[in-house]
Amino acid sequence: MQFDQDERGFSFSKEGPLDMRMDPTAKMTAKEVVNTLPEKDLGEMFKELGEEKLWRVSAKAIVNARRKKPIQTTTELSQILEEVIPRGGRKIHPATKIFQAIRIYVNRELETLQETIEKAVNFLRPGGQVAVITFHSLEDRIVKNVFRDLSSPIRNHYGQKISEAKLETITKKPIMPTFKETRNNRRARSAKFRVARKRVE
């Protein structure tokens, strides 16, 4: 829902302030990240969180632009990226992965996702289920790994079992949207759905 609100600054296709905070009361904004992070840190963020191949030139372009004046809006940032990331055969907009990386960084999305799943499992009754929908590979990898780890017994360094597994993974492979669903809802095209059940003691 936040993506559809121009004033929240999530979308490169809509004019808005560089914000991107899921929690409007949080201190760090995308504007602060884009205008203050060193070029090296920006590049690493784009590489790791955005999986953008042109992470170096993207970081350099942003730093060069902000030397002239602070980058204030989503469209300003988008235009900077469009000049250095060729559309070529890309199916997505040149700014997509960079915006993704900044949003993930601002909201600590990956750390929060792992913490939330682990806490949710503790609140589940035996037999209760935890279900997670992710929208890109970094998120899905975290869910897959957390479910895998919690579905295995805990062992000490001698290999002796200390406690039983907490979960039983129900979806060995993620459930993907059908063609019909993605046709009706384009945002579902990258969704992956995984489910696990808390073991009955």
Q: Given the structure tokens 């960084």, which residue do they identify?
A: 105
The answer to whether residue 120 scores a pLDDT higher than 70 is yes
Burial (CB count <10 Å: 0-12, 13-18, 19+), residue 61: buried
Burial (CB count <10 Å: 0-12, 13-18, 19+), residue 1: exposed
Domain with residue 38: its CATH number is: 1.10.150.170
Statement to judge: residues 123 and 185 lie in one domain: yes
Burial 38-47 (b: 16+ CB within 10 A, else e): eeeebbbbbb
Task: Out of 84, 107, 130, pick the residue that ends a domain.
Answer: 107
* 52 CB neighbour count, 10 Å cutoff: 24
Task: Out of 70, 88, 107, pick the residue that ends a domain.
Answer: 107
Structure confidence at residue 49 (pLDDT): 94
Statement to judge: residues 103 and 135 lie in one domain: no
Structure confidence at residue 47 (pLDDT): 95
> Count of domains in the chain?
2
Query: Please, which pLDDT band fits residue 3 given cuts at 50, 70 and 90?
Result: low
Statement to judge: residues 137 and 157 lie in one domain: yes
Statement to judge: residues 43 and 89 lie in one domain: yes
Statement to judge: residues 114 and 66 lie in one domain: no
Structure confidence at residue 160 (pLDDT): 65
Structural domain range at position 91: 2-107
Statement to judge: residues 98 and 136 lie in one domain: no
What is the 3-class SS of the chain, one letter each residue? Answer: CHHHCHHHCCCCCCCCECCCCCCCCCCCCHHHHHHHCCHHHHHHHHHHHHCCCCHHHHHHHHHHHHHHCCCCEHHHHHHHHHHHCCCCCCCCCCCHHHHHHHHHHHHCHHHHHHHHHHHHHHHCCCCCEEEEEECCHHHHHHHHHHHHHHCCCEECCCCCEEECCCEEECCCCCECCCHHHHHHCHHHCCCEEEEEEECCC
* 14 CB neighbour count, 10 Å cutoff: 17
Statement to judge: residues 10 and 86 lie in one domain: yes
Statement to judge: residues 117 and 51 lie in one domain: no
Statement to judge: residues 103 and 11 lie in one domain: yes
* 131 CB neighbour count, 10 Å cutoff: 14
pLDDT digit string, tens, across residues 29-80: 999 999 999 999 999 999 999 999 999 999 999 999 999 999 999 889 999 9
Statement to judge: residues 99 and 160 lie in one domain: no
Statement to judge: residues 97 and 131 lie in one domain: no
Statement to judge: residues 120 and 183 lie in one domain: yes
